[in-house]
Amino acid sequence: MRQKVAIIGAGNVGATCAQRILERGLADVALVDVVEGLAQGKALDLAEAAPLEGHDGFISGSTTYEGIQGAAVVVVTAGLARKPGMSRSDLLEANAKILQSIIPNVVRHAPEAILLVVTNPLDPMTYLAWRLSGFPTERVLGMAGVLDSARLRAFAAQKLRLSVKDIQALVLGGHGDSMVPLKRFTTVSGVPIAELLSASDLEALIQRTREGGAEVVKLLKTGSAFYAPASSVADMVQSILRDEKRVLPASVCLKGEYGLRDVFCGVPVRLGARGVEQILEIPLDPNEKAALAASAKGVRQDMDVVDAFLKGADPVKKGG
One domain for residues 270 and 195:
yes
One domain for residues 215 and 81:
no
237 inside domain: yes
Count of the separate structural domains present in the chain: 2
Q: For 95-115, what is each residue's pLDDT tens digit?
A: 999 999 999 999 999 999 999
One domain for residues 188 and 137:
no
One domain for residues 106 and 151:
no
Work out the end-to-end distance of the chain between its first and last CA atoms, rounded to an integer number of angstroms.
31
Q: For 171-219, what is each residue's pLDDT tens digit?
A: 999 998 889 999 999 999 999 999 999 999 999 999 999 999 999 999 9
One domain for residues 290 and 149:
yes
pLDDT score at 317:
42
320 inside domain: no
Q: For 118-170, what is each residue's pLDDT tens digit?
A: 999 999 999 999 999 999 999 999 999 999 999 999 999 999 999 999 999 99
Residue 84: pLDDT over 90: no
Q: For 12-62, what is each residue's pLDDT tens digit?
A: 999 999 999 999 999 999 999 999 999 999 999 999 999 999 999 999 999
315 inside domain: no
Domain boundary among the residues 142, 159, 175 is at 142
Domain boundary among the residues 142, 173, 192 is at 142
One domain for residues 168 and 235:
yes
Cα–Cα distance for residue pair 1/244, rounded to 1 Å:
19
What is the pTM for the complete model shown?
A: 0.94
User: What percentage of the chain exceeds 90 in pLDDT?
Assistant: 90
* Catalytic residue list: 175
**Structural domain harbouring 295:** 145-306
Cα–Cα distance for residue pair 193/28, rounded to 1 Å:
39
Q: In CATH, what number is assigned to the domain containing residue 133?
A: 3.40.50.720
Domain boundary among the residues 87, 112, 142 is at 142
One domain for residues 164 and 112:
no
One domain for residues 190 and 82:
no
Residue 88 binned pLDDT confidence (cut-offs 50, 70, 90): low
